[in-house]
Each structure stands twice: as structure tokens, then as C-alpha cells.
């Protein structure tokens, strides 16, 4: 696997990309360890443990070396979460450029939709209910001026109530200018009612909606910051049993969706920023060392 055809350059160990991968790999090893300790998620732990064990660095462009490795693509893997974030941010930069070519002057809304905290053992049906309710809500006549959306599901730990989690949606809405005018305006209290009706629940859920803030950042930068936050590497859970159960409950669940114009633009500009397969030539290899908890020169 390793030959002197692929020389190892110690200077590459200090590249920002290598250092970032080192930090992510350490987090991935910790996550894998939690899953490996449970027989139900042992395979998940093995998969994450094998992620990015060997790094290949493309040297075609010395100014911007690109990491080449094998990714496990597991939802709980910090390395793959980071990779997905980088891809999503690149897509959004392209989408923002394409929107500037659109004849309509669309505007942005940031919407957070919540439900009551639930036992982690009941998370799967709660997520199904939320996803269905979101689709029902978007079909309401009051929201016909919505041009597109990105919806990301975040699940945080309820540290006050052991065994409970807090699932909620972070939504980026692309709306027509008419949604800010007169009878087409939807205030926050009405958003809460629409979400309640879509869920079919008796309590009024907490909802937060806001437009672009006037805080010195450009509209595009605020959108990018929103996407970056909602695709960040997930924080570790204090309760290991809760995390293990969450991995089981979220299998085959759709935690991200795009709709309308945003879906069209993202689909048309879909591009892969990181290659899974190493290049046959011009690469320098570095291998993960569990003993040293870092990437080192592989044995020749």
C-alpha cells in the first residue's frame, strides 16, 4: 500500500488541513469508542473508527493541497459532518450568486420550529411527525409567497431531564418581497399557530422568526453564517446511553431537506468538493496512529 513512489514530507504535517483533520479524527475516535462499547452500535463504531485512517494529499496545486481519503459517511462521524458542512457552504455560495441573476428580488427569513422535549427512545416517531407536519404547513395558502426553503434538524441533549432530547428545525426561507407587505405578512405568533395546527397538538409550540439583521454583516454573509451554524459538527453528549440510542433512532431519517427554488438551484449546481478515492499519482500519504493520536509517516 505504501511505497517510496509516494514520498512523505514532514512539512505537510503542519498544513492547516492536516491539523484540522487531526482534531476531527480525535473527536471521531471518541465517538467510535462510545459506539463500540455497545453491542447494538458496534458496527457503527467500527465504521467511524475506519474513517480517514490514511490521508493522501494532492500536490497538483502546491498553493491549495487537497485532502484525499476514504470517508465512512456515517451521520455521527465528526469528519463526515465537517465534510458535509464544507460542501453545503460551497453550494450556498453558488446559490447566492445564481439568485442575483433572478428577476425577482427575493428576501430571507430565519425560522426555528420546536416541539416539547421527548424521551430519546421515542425520537423516531417524533421526527416522522415533525417532517410530515412541516410539509403540511408549507401547503397552507398563507405561505404561498414562500419561494424556497432549507430545513435542518438539530437534536440537542436535555441536560435537566436525563434520557430526554430536544429536536427542532432550523429553517432558511427564501420569500417573495410580497410576504413582507400588508395582508401577506405572517407574524411570529401566526407562525406558531400554523406549526401547532400542522402538528395537531394541544399546546402552542415555541417558534422564532426573524429577517436579516442590521448588524453590519451583509445579507449574504448572514445566510452563510446560518448555514454554517446548522451544519456544524455536533457537540458530544454527556449521557453516553442517550447518544447510543439517538444513533439508533435517527437511522434512515431525513434530517435535511430543500424545497422550491433553492432545491432547483442546489440540484443544478451540485458538485463534489472532496474525492473519496486517492489519486494514482502525485500524492503524499499520512497514516493515523491511535497510539500517538495524530497522523504520522506510514511505514515503508
Question: Would you place residue 274 in the very low, low, confident or very high pLDDT band (cuts 50, 70, 90)?
Answer: very low
Residue 300 lies in a domain: yes
pLDDT exceeds 50 at position 25: yes
Q: How many domains does the chain have?
A: 2
Between 91 and 102, the higher pLDDT residue: 91
Which runs of E-coded beta strand occur in the chain?
54-58, 66-68, 107-114, 118-119, 146-157, 164-175, 207-210, 256-259, 283-289, 294-296
Is residue 293 one of the residues assigned to a domain?
A: yes
Query: Are the beta carbons of 206 and 114 closer than 8 angstroms?
Result: yes
Check whether residue 189 and residue 278 sit in a common domain. no
Residues 48 and 118 in one domain: no
Task: Using the structure block, give the residue that is written with the C-alpha cell 459506539.
Answer: 35
Question: Do 27 and 153 lie in a common domain?
Answer: no
Together in a domain, 281 and 268: no
Range 148-156 average pLDDT: 95
Answer yes or no: is pLDDT of 103 > 90. no
Whether the CB-CB separation of 189 and 204 falls below 8 Å is answered with no
**End-to-end Cα distance, the chain:** 9
For residue range 7-18, what is the model confidence (pLDDT) as tens digits?
445 555 566 778
Owning domain of residue 127: 103-272
- Residue 77's pLDDT is 96
Query: 30 and 136 in one domain?
Result: no
Position 30 pLDDT exceeds 80: yes
User: 207 with 280, same domain?
Assistant: no
Domain CATH for 185: 3.30.70
Sole residue written with cell 394541544: 202
Instruction: Classify residue 94: in a domain, yes or no.
Output: no
153, 158, 159, 164 alpha-carbon torsion, rounded to 10°: -120
C-alpha distances (whole Å) from 101 to each of 96, 106, 203 are 9, 11, 43
Residue 80 has a pLDDT of 95
Residues 268 and 289 in one domain: no
User: Per-residue pLDDT averaged across 31-53, rounded?
Assistant: 95
Q: List the single range of 7-11, 46-50, 116-120, 284-288 with lowest mean pLDDT.
A: 7-11
232/38: higher pLDDT: 38
- Pair (25, 131) in one structural domain: no
Q: Helical H runs in 42-77?
A: 42-49
Amino acid at each position: 500500500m505504501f511505497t517510496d513512489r509516494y514520498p512523505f514530507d514532514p512539512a505537510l504535517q503542519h498544513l492547516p488541513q492536516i491539523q484540522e483533520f487531526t482534531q476531527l479524527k480525535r473527536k471521531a475516535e471518541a465517538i467510535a469508542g462510545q459506539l463500540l462499547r455497545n453491542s447494538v452500535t458496534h458496527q457503527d463504531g467500527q465504521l467511524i473508527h475506519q474513517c480517514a485512517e490514511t490521508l493522501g494529499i494532492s500536490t497538483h496545486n502546491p498553493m491549495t493541497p487537497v485532502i484525499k481519503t476514504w470517508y465512512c459517511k456515517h451521520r455521527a462521524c465528526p469528519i463526515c459532518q465537517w465534510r458535509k458542512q464544507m460542501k453545503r457552504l460551497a453550494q450556498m455560495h453558488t446559490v447566492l450568486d445564481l439568485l442575483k441573476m433572478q428577476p425577482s428580488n427575493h428576501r430571507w427569513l430565519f425560522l426555528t420550529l420546536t416541539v416539547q422535549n421527548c424521551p430519546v427512545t421515542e425520537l423516531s416517531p417524533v421526527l416522522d411527525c415533525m417532517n410530515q407536519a412541516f410539509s403540511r404547513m408549507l401547503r397552507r395558502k398563507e405561505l404561498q409567497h414562500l419561494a424556497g426553503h432549507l430545513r435542518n434538524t438539530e437534536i440537542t441533549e436535555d441536560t435537566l431531564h436525563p434520557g430526554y432530547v430536544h429536536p427542532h428545525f432550523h429553517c432558511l426561507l427564501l420569500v417573495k418581497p410580497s410576504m413582507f407587505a400588508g395582508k401577506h405578512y405572517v407574524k411570529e405568533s401566526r407562525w406558531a399557530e400554523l406549526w401547532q395546527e400542522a402538528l395537531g397538538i394541544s399546546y402552542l409550540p415555541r417558534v422564532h422568526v426573524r429577517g436579516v439583521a442590521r448588524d453590519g454583516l451583509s445579507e449574504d454573509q448572514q445566510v452563510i453564517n446560518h448555514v454554517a451554524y446548522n451544519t456544524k459538527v455536533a457537540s458530544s453528549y454527556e449521557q453516553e446511553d442517550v447518544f447510543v440510542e439517538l444513533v439508533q433512532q435517527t437511522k434512515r431519517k431525513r434530517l435535511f431537506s430543500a424545497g422550491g427554488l433553492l432545491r432547483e438551484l442546489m440540484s443544478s449546481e451540485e458538485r463534489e468538493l472532496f474525492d473519496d478515492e486517492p489519486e494514482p499519482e502525485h500524492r503524499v500519504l499520512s497514516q493515523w496512529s491511535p497510539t500517538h493520536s495524530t497522523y504520522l509517516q506510514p511505514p515503508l
